[in-house]
Structure 1
C-alpha cells in the first residue's frame, strides 16, 4: 500500500490508536516537526483508505475527531512493534 510509505502515515495510525478518538490538535502535538498541510493531507488519505473514521460535530467552534476503523486497528496492532523497534534503534 503506497499510502503507508508516505511520511507520517504509520505514525498517525499509531497515535490515533493510542489516544482513541483524537482531535487534530492532539495528533499534531504528537509530532514536533510536521507541517499542518502534511498532517491534514495524511489524515484525509487515511480516512479515504478506510483506516481512519472522521467525525465532525455541529458545534462552535467546530470539533472533528478521528478514530481507527477495524481495519485501522488491525494495522496499528501490526505497526506498533515495528515502530517500537525503529525508536530503539534510533536511540542506540
Structure 2
C-alpha cells in the first residue's frame, strides 16, 4: 500500500476542503452519486466511463475515509454493495455546483475534444 513520504500539511479550511473533495475523480463521483444514488460499483464505474478500477477503488476508499460517502453491503448471494452520499457529502454538492457554474463561464465551449458531458448532470448553465 502507498505511504505518503510527508505528513499532510493543512493550514486552512480551504486546503481541507480541497483535500476532501478536490481532484479529478472525487468531485465527479460526488456529482454522479448526487444525481442518482445509491449506485453499485459497476453502475458507478459505467457512469465515470474513463476511470480505471484501481483508481475508482482507491478514490472510493478516500471518500469513505473522509465521511463523504457510505458503503452499504447486503448479505445476499451474489453479494451486493451500494454507495451513496452521507449528509456531509450532500452538503458539498451546492459548492461543487457553484464551482461548475463559475468554470462554465470561462471554459472554452467550442472545445470538441473534451465536451462537458459530466457537467450536464449538474445544470451548471
TM class by smaller structure: 0.7 to 0.9
Please report the RMSD computed on the Cα atoms of aligned residues, expressed in angstroms.
Answer: 1.8
Question: In the TM superposition, what whole-angstrom CA distance separates every residue of 1:19-77 from its partner, at most 9, and x where no partner exists?
Answer: 11111111111122100010011111101100101101111111111111111001012
The 5 A counterparts of 1:38-49 are 38-49=55-66
Aligned length: 92
Q: 1:34 to 1:53 in 2, by over 3 A?
A: same
Match in the other structure for 1:67: 84
- What is the TM-score normalised by the length of structure 1? 0.85
- What is the TM-score normalised by the length of structure 2? 0.65
- The higher radius of gyration belongs to 2
Q: Which one has a larger percent strand, Structure 1 or Structure 2?
A: 1
Q: Which runs of 5+ in 2 are unaligned?
A: 1-15, 111-125
Q: Which one has a larger percent helix, Structure 1 or Structure 2?
A: 1
